[in-house]
Amino acid sequence: MDPAMLVLHSSPGSCALAPAIVLEEIGCPYRLAGVDFASGQQRTPDFLRKNPLGRVPVLEDDGLVLTEASAIMVYLARRFPEAKLLPEDDKGLAMALSFNSYLGSTVHVAHAHGRRGARWADEESSHADMRRKVPQTMRSTMALVEEGKLVGPWVMGAQYTICDAYLFTIAGWLEGDGVPLKELPRIAAHFAAMEKRPAVQRALAAHEGLRKAG
Protein backbone atom coordinates (compact mmCIF):
# COMPACT_ATOMS: atom_id res chain seq x y z
CA MET A 1 0.00 0.00 0.00
CA ASP A 2 1.20 3.53 -0.73
CA PRO A 3 2.18 4.92 2.73
CA ALA A 4 0.96 8.37 1.70
CA MET A 5 -2.53 7.06 0.89
CA LEU A 6 -5.33 8.40 3.05
CA VAL A 7 -6.91 5.84 5.38
CA LEU A 8 -10.35 6.30 6.90
CA HIS A 9 -11.22 4.01 9.81
CA SER A 10 -14.93 3.41 9.84
CA SER A 11 -17.72 1.08 10.85
CA PRO A 12 -21.04 0.46 9.06
CA GLY A 13 -23.87 2.63 10.38
CA SER A 14 -21.50 5.05 12.10
CA CYS A 15 -20.92 8.78 11.70
CA ALA A 16 -17.76 7.90 9.75
CA LEU A 17 -20.03 7.58 6.69
CA ALA A 18 -19.95 11.40 6.47
CA PRO A 19 -16.18 11.76 5.87
CA ALA A 20 -16.37 8.71 3.55
CA ILE A 21 -18.92 10.58 1.43
CA VAL A 22 -16.62 13.62 1.43
CA LEU A 23 -13.70 11.45 0.26
CA GLU A 24 -15.87 10.01 -2.52
CA GLU A 25 -17.03 13.48 -3.59
CA ILE A 26 -13.38 14.59 -3.76
CA GLY A 27 -12.46 11.50 -5.74
CA CYS A 28 -9.01 11.03 -4.20
CA PRO A 29 -7.65 7.53 -3.60
CA TYR A 30 -8.16 6.29 -0.05
CA ARG A 31 -8.50 3.06 1.87
CA LEU A 32 -11.54 2.35 4.02
CA ALA A 33 -10.37 0.37 7.05
CA GLY A 34 -13.17 -1.47 8.83
CA VAL A 35 -13.41 -1.36 12.63
CA ASP A 36 -15.51 -4.27 13.85
CA PHE A 37 -17.65 -3.00 16.74
CA ALA A 38 -19.19 -6.46 17.29
CA SER A 39 -15.85 -7.90 18.38
CA GLY A 40 -14.83 -4.69 20.22
CA GLN A 41 -12.03 -3.84 17.78
CA GLN A 42 -12.42 -0.15 18.72
CA ARG A 43 -11.11 -0.98 22.20
CA THR A 44 -8.02 -2.94 21.11
CA PRO A 45 -4.61 -1.43 21.99
CA ASP A 46 -3.85 -0.96 18.30
CA PHE A 47 -6.96 1.12 17.69
CA LEU A 48 -6.76 2.99 21.01
CA ARG A 49 -3.35 4.26 19.91
CA LYS A 50 -5.14 6.01 17.05
CA ASN A 51 -8.09 7.25 19.12
CA PRO A 52 -7.89 6.81 22.92
CA LEU A 53 -11.69 7.21 23.05
CA GLY A 54 -12.11 4.08 20.95
CA ARG A 55 -14.33 5.71 18.35
CA VAL A 56 -14.52 6.18 14.61
CA PRO A 57 -13.91 8.06 12.41
CA VAL A 58 -10.15 8.28 12.39
CA LEU A 59 -8.37 9.67 9.35
CA GLU A 60 -4.70 8.94 8.71
CA ASP A 61 -2.86 11.09 6.23
CA ASP A 62 0.89 10.91 5.89
CA GLY A 63 1.65 10.86 9.63
CA LEU A 64 -1.41 12.84 10.70
CA VAL A 65 -3.90 10.88 12.84
CA LEU A 66 -7.08 12.93 13.05
CA THR A 67 -10.24 12.22 15.05
CA GLU A 68 -13.67 13.92 15.17
CA ALA A 69 -15.90 13.78 12.11
CA SER A 70 -16.33 17.57 11.88
CA ALA A 71 -12.58 18.23 11.92
CA ILE A 72 -11.88 15.45 9.42
CA MET A 73 -14.39 16.88 6.95
CA VAL A 74 -12.96 20.39 7.24
CA TYR A 75 -9.44 19.00 6.82
CA LEU A 76 -10.41 17.11 3.67
CA ALA A 77 -12.32 20.05 2.19
CA ARG A 78 -9.31 22.34 2.73
CA ARG A 79 -6.74 19.77 1.57
CA PHE A 80 -8.66 19.39 -1.68
CA PRO A 81 -10.03 22.91 -2.28
CA GLU A 82 -10.77 22.20 -5.94
CA ALA A 83 -13.73 20.06 -4.77
CA LYS A 84 -15.35 23.26 -3.39
CA LEU A 85 -16.92 21.53 -0.41
CA LEU A 86 -16.73 24.58 1.89
CA PRO A 87 -18.01 28.12 1.32
CA GLU A 88 -15.16 30.54 0.64
CA ASP A 89 -16.65 33.65 2.24
CA ASP A 90 -16.28 34.18 6.00
CA LYS A 91 -19.99 34.17 6.80
CA GLY A 92 -20.69 31.10 4.71
CA LEU A 93 -17.76 29.25 6.25
CA ALA A 94 -18.91 30.18 9.76
CA MET A 95 -22.46 29.04 9.00
CA ALA A 96 -21.18 25.70 7.65
CA LEU A 97 -19.03 25.12 10.74
CA SER A 98 -21.94 26.15 12.97
CA PHE A 99 -24.22 23.64 11.26
CA ASN A 100 -21.76 20.76 11.56
CA SER A 101 -20.94 21.66 15.18
CA TYR A 102 -24.64 21.52 15.95
CA LEU A 103 -24.97 18.07 14.38
CA GLY A 104 -21.86 16.77 16.16
CA SER A 105 -22.33 18.27 19.60
CA THR A 106 -26.11 18.16 19.94
CA VAL A 107 -27.85 15.82 17.50
CA HIS A 108 -25.21 13.07 17.52
CA VAL A 109 -25.09 13.18 21.32
CA ALA A 110 -28.89 12.82 21.48
CA HIS A 111 -28.60 9.75 19.23
CA ALA A 112 -25.77 8.27 21.32
CA HIS A 113 -28.01 8.29 24.39
CA GLY A 114 -29.86 5.39 22.73
CA ARG A 115 -27.03 2.85 22.58
CA ARG A 116 -24.13 4.41 24.42
CA GLY A 117 -25.74 5.47 27.71
CA ALA A 118 -22.81 3.90 29.58
CA ARG A 119 -20.78 6.94 28.53
CA TRP A 120 -22.82 9.06 30.94
CA ALA A 121 -24.29 6.80 33.63
CA ASP A 122 -23.74 3.43 35.31
CA GLU A 123 -27.24 2.29 36.30
CA GLU A 124 -29.26 0.27 33.77
CA SER A 125 -32.32 2.26 34.87
CA SER A 126 -30.49 5.45 33.78
CA HIS A 127 -29.64 3.89 30.41
CA ALA A 128 -33.28 2.86 29.93
CA ASP A 129 -34.41 6.39 30.76
CA MET A 130 -31.95 7.85 28.23
CA ARG A 131 -33.10 5.36 25.57
CA ARG A 132 -36.74 6.35 26.07
CA LYS A 133 -35.87 10.01 25.53
CA VAL A 134 -34.16 9.49 22.14
CA PRO A 135 -37.23 9.82 19.85
CA GLN A 136 -38.12 13.09 21.57
CA THR A 137 -34.64 14.64 21.48
CA MET A 138 -33.91 13.48 17.93
CA ARG A 139 -37.26 14.90 16.77
CA SER A 140 -36.77 18.24 18.51
CA THR A 141 -33.12 18.72 17.53
CA MET A 142 -33.76 17.77 13.90
CA ALA A 143 -36.85 20.00 13.83
CA LEU A 144 -34.49 22.98 14.07
CA VAL A 145 -32.74 21.69 10.94
CA GLU A 146 -36.07 21.13 9.21
CA GLU A 147 -37.43 24.55 10.13
CA GLY A 148 -34.48 26.74 9.29
CA LYS A 149 -30.93 25.47 9.38
CA LEU A 150 -31.39 23.52 6.12
CA VAL A 151 -31.58 26.28 3.48
CA GLY A 152 -32.30 24.03 0.49
CA PRO A 153 -31.84 22.38 -1.83
CA TRP A 154 -28.52 21.75 -0.05
CA VAL A 155 -27.83 22.64 3.57
CA MET A 156 -26.02 25.85 2.64
CA GLY A 157 -28.30 26.67 -0.29
CA ALA A 158 -27.02 26.34 -3.86
CA GLN A 159 -23.55 25.06 -2.89
CA TYR A 160 -23.13 21.39 -1.98
CA THR A 161 -20.80 21.18 1.05
CA ILE A 162 -19.50 18.88 3.77
CA CYS A 163 -22.68 19.76 5.72
CA ASP A 164 -24.71 17.68 3.27
CA ALA A 165 -22.64 14.57 3.93
CA TYR A 166 -23.12 15.00 7.67
CA LEU A 167 -26.85 15.71 7.50
CA PHE A 168 -27.42 12.65 5.28
CA THR A 169 -25.52 10.44 7.71
CA ILE A 170 -27.48 11.59 10.75
CA ALA A 171 -30.82 11.62 8.93
CA GLY A 172 -30.15 7.96 8.16
CA TRP A 173 -30.40 7.23 11.89
CA LEU A 174 -33.84 8.82 12.36
CA GLU A 175 -36.07 5.82 11.60
CA GLY A 176 -34.03 3.62 13.96
CA ASP A 177 -34.34 6.34 16.60
CA GLY A 178 -38.14 6.28 16.35
CA VAL A 179 -38.59 9.37 14.16
CA PRO A 180 -40.26 8.62 10.79
CA LEU A 181 -38.35 10.56 8.12
CA LYS A 182 -41.64 11.54 6.46
CA GLU A 183 -42.44 13.71 9.51
CA LEU A 184 -39.54 15.96 8.43
CA PRO A 185 -40.33 16.53 4.72
CA ARG A 186 -37.49 18.94 3.90
CA ILE A 187 -34.90 16.61 5.45
CA ALA A 188 -36.58 13.70 3.64
CA ALA A 189 -36.25 15.54 0.30
CA HIS A 190 -32.58 16.27 1.05
CA PHE A 191 -32.05 12.60 1.94
CA ALA A 192 -33.62 11.48 -1.37
CA ALA A 193 -31.45 13.93 -3.34
CA MET A 194 -28.35 12.67 -1.55
CA GLU A 195 -29.21 9.05 -2.32
CA LYS A 196 -29.06 9.91 -6.04
CA ARG A 197 -25.46 11.15 -5.87
CA PRO A 198 -22.92 8.62 -7.20
CA ALA A 199 -20.43 9.55 -4.44
CA VAL A 200 -23.01 8.77 -1.76
CA GLN A 201 -23.84 5.47 -3.45
CA ARG A 202 -20.14 4.53 -3.55
CA ALA A 203 -19.64 5.39 0.14
CA LEU A 204 -22.71 3.34 1.10
CA ALA A 205 -21.55 0.40 -1.04
CA ALA A 206 -18.08 0.52 0.55
CA HIS A 207 -19.68 0.38 4.01
CA GLU A 208 -21.92 -2.47 2.92
CA GLY A 209 -18.71 -4.25 1.87
CA LEU A 210 -17.32 -3.74 5.39
CA ARG A 211 -20.53 -5.16 6.86
CA LYS A 212 -20.27 -8.30 4.69
CA ALA A 213 -16.56 -8.70 5.43
CA GLY A 214 -17.05 -8.18 9.19
Ligand X SMILES: N[C@@H](CCC(=O)N[C@@H](CS)C(=O)NCC(=O)O)C(=O)O
Judged by CB under 6 A, which of 79, 84, 116, 182 binds ligand X?
116
Interface characters, 149-178, with ligand X (x: CB under 6 A):
------------------------------
Region at 161 (left for phi over 0; alpha for psi -120 to 50; beta for the rest): beta
Nearer to ligand X, 82 or 145 (CB): 145
- The count of chain residues that interact with ligand X, using the rule CB under 6 A, is 14
| Residues in the chain, overall count | 214
Contact pattern for ligand X over residues 180 through 209, marking x by CB under 6 A: ------------------------------
Query: Which one of 52-60, 81-89, 123-131, 174-182 is the stretch in contact with ligand X (CB under 6 A)?
Result: 52-60
With contact defined as beta carbons under 8 Å apart, do 207 and 17 qualify?
A: yes
Nearest residue to ligand X by CB is 55
Q: Which amino acid is at 106?
A: T
Q: Which of 6, 15, 156, 171 binds ligand X (CB under 6 A)?
A: 15
Q: CA geometry: angle at 56 spanning 11 and 42, to 5°?
A: 80
When asked if residue 68 is in the footprint of ligand X (CB under 6 A), the reply is yes
Q: Which of 6, 9, 12, 14 binds ligand X (CB under 6 A)?
A: 14
Determine, following the binding rule CB under 6 A, whether residue 76 of this chain makes contact with ligand X: no
Give the shortest CB-104-to-ligand X separation in angstroms.
5
Question: Which CB, 40 or 209, lies closer to ligand X?
Answer: 40
Q: Which of 8, 59, 69, 210 binds ligand X (CB under 6 A)?
A: 69
Stretch that binds ligand X, among 53-61, 141-149, 160-168, 179-187 (CB under 6 A): 53-61
Query: Quick check: 42 binds ligand X (CB under 6 A)?
Result: yes
Rounded distance between C-alpha atoms, residue 35 and residue 192, angstroms: 28
Q: Footprint of ligand X on this chain (CB under 6 A)?
A: 14-15, 37, 42, 54-57, 68-69, 104, 108, 112, 116
